[in-house]
């Protein structure tokens, strides 16, 4: 599957569509957004699996955890891989 195959008819496509704004979200927030936007009941386990696969589609996954009311909460965000032109500009500037 390539990036052009990522319609929101697929779980991966839905996860990337939701996460492509760069905001940090929990699995629960992504799950709710899947239902709100696409009327699809993607589970947190399925969303977690799709987040592990995003690197194959040109995205970098960032995660961090925090403790809220004694429970550890993980948050995720996506950013696109830098283009080769952007990498070259950084290398020249360094």
CA Rg, the chain, in Å?
15
Beta-bridged to residue 77, according to DSSP, are: 62
19-69 per-position pLDDT tens digit? 999 999 999 999 999 999 999 999 999 999 999 999 888 899 999 999 989
Place of tokens 């589609």: 57
Longest Cα separation, the chain: 47
Residue 2's pLDDT is 44
Q: Which helix (H) or strand (E) holds 37?
A: helix 27-38
Q: Residue 90 — very low, low, confident or very high, per pLDDT cuts 50/70/90?
A: low
Give residue 92's pLDDT. Answer: 64
41 versus 89: the higher-pLDDT residue is 41
pLDDT for residue 93: 62
Output the pTM of the full model.
Answer: 0.80
Task: Give mean pLDDT, residues 5-15.
Answer: 87
Residues 33, 36: Cα–Cα separation, whole Å: 5
What is the four-CA torsion angle of 35, 36, 39, 40, rounded to 10 degrees?
-20
pLDDT tens digits, 20-30: 999 999 999 99
- Count of Cβ atoms closer than 10 Å to residue 87 Cβ: 11
The strand pairing partners of 76, in sequence order, are: 25, 63
């Amino acid at each position: 599957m390539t990036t052009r195959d990522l319609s929101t008819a697929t779980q991966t496509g839905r996860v990337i569509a939701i996460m492509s704004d760069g905001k940090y979200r929990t699995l629960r927030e992504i799950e709710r957004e899947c239902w709100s936007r696409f009327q699809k009941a993607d589970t947190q386990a399925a969303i977690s699996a799709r987040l592990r696969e995003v690197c194959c589609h040109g995205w970098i996954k960032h995660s961090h955890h925090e403790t809220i009311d004694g429970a550890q909460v993980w948050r995720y965000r996506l950013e696109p891989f830098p283009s080769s032109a952007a990498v070259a500009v950084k290398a020249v500037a360094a």
